[in-house]
């Protein structure tokens, strides 16, 4: 699923980087995603198609009676210069924070120190889309851990609100002991799974 999402992202970036050149032709450039990885796309018209799978490869589409040109290397600097306006219009990538818990809803000291950094990221981005997702390790029943993960997410949300973040911007969800960061068997105490993930978009 993740690699499919990256391919979709790269397709979107490729079309974002499309522009009209002289003579009515269109230039399509494949750009890496925010994580630096590049997917693959097929550019086609009624006359044929070409596959592009390397970063900053380009093809030109002209007359409908002619197939897209063979892929050619454009280079990062040239692509960034040519499509500077389109690139500057892209949204920033989400910022992820992971907060760990000593027990119940008590954050570790290191995670407590992350809270001001989360607030700074929210303010710098003028974010109104903040996800707070609670998790637990596998010790205890499914029902117990769902409640605990919900309480953890709500406790982080409450702390962000006390630090000045509008509560209407924050969405909380809870996964209980599902979707562990570190896969373990049941009833295994794993500190890295006792966490809340905060995503600032």
- pLDDT exceeds 70 at position 17: no
The pLDDT of residue 156: 98
If one counts every other C-beta atom within 10 angstroms of the C-beta of residue 99, the result is: 24
For range 59-65, the mean pLDDT:
88
- 171 or 82, which is more confident? 171
Confidence of residue 87 (pLDDT cuts 50, 70, 90): confident
For range 75-80, the mean pLDDT:
88
Model confidence, pTM: 0.66
CA 119 to chain centre: 19
The pLDDT of residue 16: 46
Q: What is the CA radius of gyration of the chain?
A: 23
Residue 118, classified by CB atoms within 10 Å of its CB into exposed (0-12), middle (13-18) or buried (19+), is: buried
At 89-99, the pLDDT tens digits run 777 889 999 99
Give the pair of three-digit tokens for residue 48.
């044929």
Average model confidence (pLDDT) across the chain: 88
- pLDDT exceeds 70 at position 56: yes
At 107-129, the pLDDT tens digits run 999 999 999 999 999 999 999 99
- pLDDT exceeds 60 at position 18: no
Weakest-pLDDT range from 1-5, 58-62, 77-81, 100-104: 1-5
Domains in the chain, start-ordered, CATH in brackets?
A: 2-88 (no CATH), 95-200 (3.30.1330.60)
- 31 or 19, which is more confident? 31
């Amino acid at each position: 699923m993740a690699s499919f999402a990256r391919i979709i992202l790269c397709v979107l970036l490729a079309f974002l980087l499309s522009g009209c050149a002289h003579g009515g032709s269109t230039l399509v450039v494949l750009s890496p995603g925010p994580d630096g990885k590049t997917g693959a796309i097929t550019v086609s018209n009624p006359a044929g198609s070409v596959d592009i799978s390397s970063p900053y490869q380009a093809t030109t589409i002209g007359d409908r009676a002619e197939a897209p040109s063979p892929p050619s290397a454009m280079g990062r600097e040239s692509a960034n210069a040519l499509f500077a306006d389109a690139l500057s219009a892209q949204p920033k990538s989400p910022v992820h924070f992971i907060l760990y818990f000593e027990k119940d809803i008590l954050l570790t000291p290191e995670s407590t120190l992350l809270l001001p950094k989360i607030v700074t990221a929210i303010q710098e981005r003028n974010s109104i889309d903040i996800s707070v997702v609670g998790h637990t390790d596998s010790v205890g029943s499914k029902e117990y851990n769902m409640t605990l993960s919900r309480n953890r997410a709500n406790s982080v949300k409450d702390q962000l609100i006390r630090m000045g973040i509008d509560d209407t911007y924050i969405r909380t969800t809870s996964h209980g002991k599902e979707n562990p960061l570190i896969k373990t068997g049941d009833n295994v105490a794993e500190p890295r799974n006792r966490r809340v993930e905060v995503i600032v978009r």
